[in-house]
Amino acid sequence: MEIDLSARRALIAGASRGIGLAIAKALAAAGADVAICARRSGPLQAAYAALQVFNHRVSARPCDLAQADEVRDWVAAAAHDLGGIDILINNASGFGRSDDEAGWAVSVQVDLMAAVRASHAALPHLEKQGGSIVNISSTSAMHACVRTPPYGAVKAALVHYTRTQAALLAAKHIRVNCIAPGSIFFEGGTWDVARQHDTALYERTLARIPSGRYGTPEEVASVATFLVSEHASWVTGQTIAVDGGQNL
């Protein structure tokens, strides 16, 4: 399946590494101009350099996605840099682990409210010609999540919000879908850390994946690229698990 995103302008929130960066690379490889943000300047600049090889417009700006004003300012600046918005990928996660005020606060502000705020800010641009929003949730949204209660619950809220967004925006020719990745391995990521420091958790999780391995960011990126393309022109309000059967 050949996907051409030439002249499309894509914003990816939280894209300095892992799934976000893989999505940015995949969209750029398909011809899109891309704008990314991240909180830390070092990884952000490294991601910017990696995206330059695709010879399309690239915007990379720092943004703390837990801060409402910074989210809105980033969307406005990115839209200016690219000349508009056709695609929005809400990827960032604060990964709230602890069932306390701090764990819930970071999950709500980054995993949920950043997506809400970025969507609201992008809407005036998307309304001009239609477009696509993809929210990145998790298979943790689909079952009890005793190890990370805030993370699972808030990712479930994002799945629900995706359906609501899709219903609200369909008449404006804006499609909204969601991806629920399973356990995705990349250098410096959660499962790389577990492999080095919590071998029992790493091996126990691996044993529960029917496909026998962890997923890759690129496998999530391939689904995201499909969802924002014309090949998915009548797909909206859906959540697609990319998990090698893990949630089964």
168-191 pLDDT, tens digit each: 999 999 999 999 999 999 998 899
Q: Name residues whose C-beta falls within 8 Å of residue 173's C-beta, 6 or more positions apart in sequence.
A: 129, 130, 131
Residue 9, C-beta contacts closer than 8 angstroms, at least 6 positions apart? 32, 33, 34, 35, 57, 79, 82, 83, 84, 85, 86, 87
Pick the catalytic residue: 151, 161, 202, 214? 151
Rg of the chain (C-alpha set): 17
CATH of 9-184+218-242, one of 3.40.50.300, 3.40.50.720, 3.40.50.970, 1.10.3720.10: 3.40.50.720
φ, ψ at 53 (rounded to 5°): -65, -15
pTM exceeds 0.85 for this model = yes
- CA torsion, points 119, 42, 93, 218, in degrees to nearest 10? 90
The count of residues in the chain is 248
Active site residue 48: no
pLDDT tens for the chain, 248 residues long, are 899 999 999 999 999 999 999 999 999 999 999 999 999 999 999 999 999 999 899 999 999 999 999 999 999 999 999 999 999 999 999 888 899 999 999 999 999 999 999 999 999 999 999 999 999 999 999 999 898 999 999 999 999 999 999 999 999 999 999 999 999 999 988 999 999 999 999 999 999 999 999 999 999 999 999 999 999 999 999 999 999 999 98
Q: Give CA 91 to chain center in angstroms.
A: 2
